[in-house]
Amino acid sequence: MNLADNIKVIREEKSLKQIEVASHIGVDKSAYSKIEKGLRALTIDELQKIAQLFNMTTDQVINYDGKMPKEVTLEDKTAVEQMRLIQQLDEDDRQTIFKLIDKMLTNKKFKDFFQKNVAAL
């Protein structure tokens, strides 16, 4: 199967209409139809939007093997892959994650500072 076939199969498995996917990626239905037929290439941005709509990574869409992905877990991914997955989230969710990370780093710095200074007493 090629990318066009993968997109069509996944769209059908998710019970989405062509017009829904077209609207999500910002093209008209005829342009999207050409994508599924392999007559029009996708931009990287369009592929990322399709993957986001399908709740998949771009790699999972490109290399689709007929099995829907299992739940995405971050702990078994490299730092680069974790950041790529985080970047696929909407802006509010990304900001929430970054605020949590900032809070944890601040707490760690405080604990390190406290332990260092208590040990000096």
Q: Residue range 52-73: average pLDDT?
A: 81
The whole-number pLDDT of residue 6 equals: 95
| Domain match, 55 and 105 both | no
d(C-alpha 16, C-alpha 110), whole Å = 49
102 phi, psi to nearest 5 deg: -60, -45
Per-residue pLDDT tens over the stretch 68-115: 665 556 667 788 888 888 888 889 989 999 999 999 999 999 998 888
Residue owning tokens 């689709």: 64
CATH number, domain of 18, equals 1.10.260.40
Quick one: 93 and 56 in the same domain?
Answer: no
Q: Is residue 78 part of a domain?
A: no
**Does residue 72 fall inside a structural domain?**
no
Residue-level pLDDT at 28: 95
Q: Which residue stretches of 26-120 are H helix?
A: 29-37, 44-53, 58-62, 79-87, 91-119
How far apart are the two ends of the chain, measured CA to CA in Å?
A: 68
* 16, 49 Cβ separation under 8 angstroms: no
Q: Determine, yes or no, domain membership for 35.
A: yes
Best mean pLDDT range from 5-9, 84-88, 116-120 = 5-9
Inside any domain, residue 11 = yes
pLDDT higher than threshold 90 for residue 15 = yes
Residue 70 maps to a domain: no
Average predicted confidence (pLDDT) for the chain: 89
Q: Are residues 20 and 57 in the same domain?
A: yes
Domain residue limits at 44: 3-62
Asked whether residue 57 falls in the same domain as residue 93, the answer is no
**pLDDT at residue number 66:** 82
Number of structural domains (the chain) is 2
Indicate whether 75 belongs to any domain. Answer: no
Q: Residue 73's pLDDT is what?
A: 66
Q: What's the pLDDT score for residue 43?
A: 94
With contact defined as beta carbons under 8 Å apart, do 47 and 61 qualify? yes
Residue 5 tokens read as 């076939």
Rounded average pLDDT over 18-24: 95
